């Protein structure tokens, strides 16, 4: 299999992406440098906003939010609000606000419960099929 060149998500230049990360080596380097800058800026200004960080360092908003979402800035004891990935409400940790996080984990839990319930029902039906017929009548 030969690798097809693709456009870098940062500079749009064509490059080979053996790791599948979407960025060319130069942009990866640049992102790492910018992330280091953001980290040290945030350490000095723990209560700055995403917009202030972007203005001060000339970095992309998406990069700052990426760092916040992935917890790369958490150890610096920060207080920076950024939008929830689902509803856009301002949050301080993780990808989602409390409500969306609850909804998403709730949906997963519900699906798991339903699967478990289905399995249990099937088992029950096998054992108690007579009684269930009687109940219906």
Chain residues in the site for Zn ion (CB under 5 A): 8, 10-11, 24, 27, 84, 86-87, 89, 97, 100
Output 8 or 63, the one with its CB closest to Zn ion: 8
7 vs 118, which CB is nearer to Zn ion?
7
**How many residues can be counted in the chain?**
137
Q: Shortest gap between Cβ of 9 and Zn ion (angstroms)?
A: 7
- Give min distance, CB of 63 to Zn ion, in A: 13
Please answer whether residues 63 and 88 qualify as being in contact, where contact means their C-beta atoms are separated by less than 8 angstroms.
Answer: no
- Minimal distance in Å, beta carbon 19 to Zn ion? 13
Q: 58: left (phi > 0), else alpha (psi -120 to 50), else beta?
A: left
> Which is closer to Zn ion, CB of 28 or CB of 45?
28
Tell me the closest approach of the beta carbon of residue 134 to Zn ion, in angstroms: 48
* Phi and psi angles of residue 14, each rounded to the nearest 5 degrees, phi first: -75, 135
* Angle value at C-alpha 111, between 93 and 71, nearest 5 degrees: 15
């Amino acid at each position: 299999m030969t690798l097809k060149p693709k456009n870098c998500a940062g500079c749009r230049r064509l490059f080979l992406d053996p790791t599948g990360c979407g960025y060319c080596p130069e942009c990866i380097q640049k992102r790492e440098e910018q992330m280091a800058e953001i980290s040290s800026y945030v350490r000095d200004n723990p209560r700055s906003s995403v917009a202030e960080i972007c203005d001060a360092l000339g970095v992309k908003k998406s990069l700052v939010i990426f760092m916040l979402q992935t917890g790369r800035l958490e150890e610096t004891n920060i207080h920076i609000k950024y939008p929830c990935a689902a509803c856009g409400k301002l949050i301080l940790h993780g990808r989602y606000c409390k409500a969306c996080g609850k909804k998403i984990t709730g949906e997963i839990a519900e699906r798991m419960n339903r699967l478990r319930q289905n399995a249990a029902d099937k088992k029950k039906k096998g054992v108690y099929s007579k009684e269930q017929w009687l109940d219906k009548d």
